[in-house]
Amino acid sequence: MGHIIHVELTSAAPQATADFYARAFGWRTTASPFIPDYLTAETGDGSGIDAAIMSSDYQSQHTIMWIEVEDIDAALAAVTEAGGAAAGEVHDLPGVGRVGYASDPAGVVIGLKQPA
């Protein structure tokens, strides 16, 4: 079973969006050392899901949920078998794991992460 582990928010102005969430909700953001215009966001202490804010140049959907999977290739096969599709290539993110996007039958983009 895949758990929701992360949420991405897309924006034409990622830093301005990060500033909004910092002022409104106290989120603390850090620029990614790997991806330009991508900020990870700590959304608070305790239980909950952290987030990221990224340029809408990467994905146009405003919010993307991320699901942790044991095997990303098997998960993509299951998505396809269930009527969805792969949405780009899988790639390795140093220290994080293998990541990629898929879409459900309605075209909603989903992030998949196989931990390192």
Is 56:43 a contact under the CB 8 Å cutoff? no
Q: How many domains does the chain have?
A: 2
What pLDDT is stored for residue 105 in this prediction? 87
Is 79 found in the same domain as 99?
yes
Residues 45 and 93 both lie in one domain: no
Do 7 and 54 fall within a single domain?
yes
Query: Residues 16, 45: one domain?
Result: yes
The predicted-structure confidence for 74-87, as pLDDT tens digits, reads as follows 999 999 999 999 99
- Report residue 11: phi and psi, to 5°: -155, 145
pLDDT for res 93 = 92
Question: What CATH number corresponds to the domain at position 36?
Answer: 3.10.180.10
Sign of CA dihedral 14, 20, 23, 25: negative
2 Cβ neighbours under 8 A, 6+ residues apart: 67, 68, 69, 75, 112
Kindly state whether residues 51 and 85 are assigned to the same domain. no
Among candidate residues 112, 87, 116, 110, the one with its CA nearest the CA of residue 99: 112
**What domain range is 101 assigned to?**
69-116
pLDDT in the model for residue 27:
92
* pTM assigned to the model: 0.82
Domain co-membership, 4 together with 35: yes
User: What does the pLDDT read at residue 1?
Assistant: 64
pLDDT of res. 3: 86
